[in-house]
Structure 1
Amino acid sequence: MSPEPVPERTGPETIGPCIARDDHGRDDRLQVTLFYKLTGVPGSEARNLVLQARDAWLKQGYKYNSSNKEDLSGPYPWVSMRTEPDDFWMEGITGVLDRAKGEGIATLKVRSPCFLPQGKSSTATTTDSVAMEVPQADDPTTRRALAHSSRIYDALQVGSAPTQPGEGLGTVRDESGASVHHTWSTPRLSEAETVRALARAQDSLRRTGWTVRHVPTGAGVPAVVALHPGEGTVVQLAPSTSGALRVAVTAPAFDPATEDV
């Protein structure tokens, strides 16, 4: 890159379990994210750094996930790319520092595909490093996860199906800490019903400040992944090949001494 920035790295950080499989079997796969904030250059260069990242990714043969042509031509472009066939996802984002002066800061983000941690297998047990426990009902993180899940339920407007094996509420513990994971499914929907339900959920999430992205699925309709910028909570809405829409909310546990209950 020119001018050459100083990359400040954050992560890799676990963003929570992947959504349960279509057969509702247990799934101990994880995803991780890695951030690089590009510092040490004038704020006026942030836009160019993001576009240079895009050009470099295109030369590597990576594919667009999404981008907004109007955004790319503006002072604060962003771009989302993915690798093939291993399916890593990269984002180049221009954050605003001084809108009046057109200054920003460039950030690169990489998210891994779902993977099993070293030493684990698809038949992992609760004695492994990623364990599911039943959380306490009065736990603040549990209440937060259930509240987000309830708002997703209201936004989708399609109801819920009976709880399947592998669904429900659990506390996930791994090397990055603890989080509460709540999963459930809708009844079987037509593709048109799925698209409309996802559109309602996306609108609700965006209006309340969530960052929303799309992920290709085998079901044809892209899944929705949303991140709450303040909490780090992740919401996943994934169309299933069975026709159901699978919902997962992963809320990281906060220090009880600092959490605002």
Structure 2
Amino acid sequence: MKLRKAILAAALLTMPITVTACGTQEDVQANGGKTPKQVTMDEQQAIDRAEDIIQQAVASMSPKPTPERVGPPPVGPCIARDDHGPDDRLQVRIAYKLTGVPGTEAKNLVRQARDAWLKQGYTYTSSGMDDWSGPFPAVYMRTAPDDFWMNALTGVLDRAKGQGLASLVVTSPCFLPPGKSSTAATADPAALKAPRADDPTSSRALGHSSRIYDALQVRSAPTQSGEGLSTVQDDAGTSVHHTWSTEPLPEAETVRALERAQTYFQSTGWHVRHLPTAAGAPALIARHPDEGTIAQLAPSATGTVRVAVTTPASGPTSADV
């Protein structure tokens, strides 16, 4: 039972995988409402910077934890974008769980990560200052000026005993690799391939997207480059990824649509978390308790809501879950 709790906690801690906007609200305003500025770096530079941010948090922790990398390979396609421009942007995400210390130290480790990042001059996101009265706090911060986003989270191992599992997650801004043009056609990453239309996992992912569409109660936008179905193969196995976007919405309607989606998730037993975004309204991250499907609903600076559904191939074969 303890192993199962640890696995579940790790899964919940790693859920914020790709919900980071490509460019910030400030970038959009500075450009007169146009497409956010492009970030140029290579994959290794993004990985090195993310690892450095992790090390800044861990270096002076006491008791000293053992960082263990979790999740898929660090480099992937830009998922939660603030625009639909066709390009080859990528994103780096690195997550570590902090092991080797008592579960009662999880809150203390999160606090120490926060303090270390504050000393570096990093700032809270708009909703990053969470309640510290309980044993399982979370901190959401960002760097300046390079705009990496990071979380220090506490997953619950034993609520009654106040034992948790601390995790650190760093996500880069979406970036165009050197030599790539923002007007170039979107290139399919090597890890992605088109799934078969009759694949049961694809049907399950589309079924979830359909029910999310019904819950949002807003129209979808025409399919853009980079959206649709793809099969993802990584160290964790094979899954089907389906992405689409709503039409642009006023901020108040975005909030109401996300509230309706949250009601749907909670009424059907999904585990739901909120994550801050540069767009103002928080993103929703929901995990299906039985099959492991993860749904991400991320509002963008342009008013659209970006929806991404990732369904593992090992889940149930029925789409009606």
TM-aligned CA deviation for residue 20 of structure 1 = 5.4
> Pick from 113, 119, 135: which aligns with 1:75?
135
Q: Which residue of 2 aligns with 1:209?
A: 271
> Pick from 55, 79, 88: which aligns with 1:18?
79
Q: Which residue of 1 aligns with 2:297?
A: 236
Q: How does 1:45-194 map to 2 (within 5 A)?
A: 45-65=105-125, 66-67=127-128, 69-70=130-131, 72-116=132-176, 120-124=180-184, 129-130=189-190, 134-161=194-221, 163-166=222-225, 168-171=227-230, 180-194=240-254
Q: Which residue of 2 aligns with 1:199?
A: 259
Which amino acid in structure 2 is aligned with residue 82 of structure 1? R
Structure with greater proportional strand content: 1
Counterpart CA distance in 2 for 1:180 and 1:119 is: 30
Q: Which residue of 2 aligns with 1:29?
A: 89
2:316 pairs with 1:260? yes
Counterpart CA distance in 1 for 2:188 and 2:226 is: 19
- Would the aligned equivalents of 1:155 and 1:200 in 2 still touch at CA under 8 Å? yes
Residue 147 to residue 238, structure 1, CA distance change in 2 (3 Å): same
Q: How does 1:244-255 map to 2 (within 5 A)?
A: 245-251=304-310, 253-254=312-313
TM-aligned CA deviation for residue 52 of structure 1 = 0.7
Q: Which residue of 1 aligns with 2:33?
A: none
Unaligned residue ranges in structure 2 (runs of 5+): 1-60
Counterpart CA distance in 1 for 2:77 and 2:273 is: 16
Report the more deviating stretch, 98-107 or 201-210: 201-210
Secondary structure, counterpart of 1:198 in structure 2: helix
Residue 62 to residue 203, structure 1, CA distance change in 2 (3 Å): farther
Which amino acid in structure 1 is aligned with residue 228 of structure 2? L
TM-aligned CA deviation for residue 189 of structure 1 = 3.0
Deviation readout 1:29-77 (Å, 9 max, x if unpaired): 233322222222222222111111111111111111234543x122222
Higher RCO (CA < 8 A, seq sep 6+): 2
Residue 32 to residue 204, structure 1, CA distance change in 2 (3 Å): farther
Secondary structure, counterpart of 1:210 in structure 2: strand
TM-aligned CA deviation for residue 160 of structure 1 = 2.8
Structure with greater proportional helix content: 2
Report the more deviating stretch, 104-113 or 225-234: 225-234
2:3 pairs with 1:3? no
Secondary structure, counterpart of 1:138 in structure 2: coil
TM-aligned CA deviation for residue 178 of structure 1 = 6.0
- Would the aligned equivalents of 2:130 and 2:139 in 1 still touch at CA under 8 Å? no
> Pick from 207, 222, 225: which aligns with 2:281?
222
Counterpart CA distance in 2 for 1:99 and 1:216 is: 32
Unaligned residue ranges in structure 1 (runs of 5+): none
Counterpart CA distance in 1 for 2:175 and 2:239 is: 18
Deviation readout 1:56-108 (Å, 9 max, x if unpaired): 111111111234543x1222222111112222221112223333332222222
Q: Given the two structures, how large is their TM-score scaled by the length of structure 2?
A: 0.65
Q: RMSD of aligned C-alpha atoms?
A: 3.2
Residue 127 to residue 34, structure 1, CA distance change in 2 (3 Å): closer
Secondary structure, counterpart of 1:55 in structure 2: helix
- Aligned residues between the structures: 250
Q: Give the share of equivalent positions with the same residue, in percent.
A: 52
Residue 89 to residue 239, structure 1, CA distance change in 2 (3 Å): closer
Secondary structure, counterpart of 1:215 in structure 2: coil
Secondary structure, counterpart of 2:228 in structure 1: strand
Residue 179 to residue 126, structure 1, CA distance change in 2 (3 Å): farther
Report the more deviating stretch, 77-86 or 12-21: 12-21
Deviation readout 1:158-198 (Å, 9 max, x if unpaired): 2334x244275232557767654434343443332222112
Q: Given the two structures, how large is their TM-score scaled by the length of structure 1?
A: 0.78
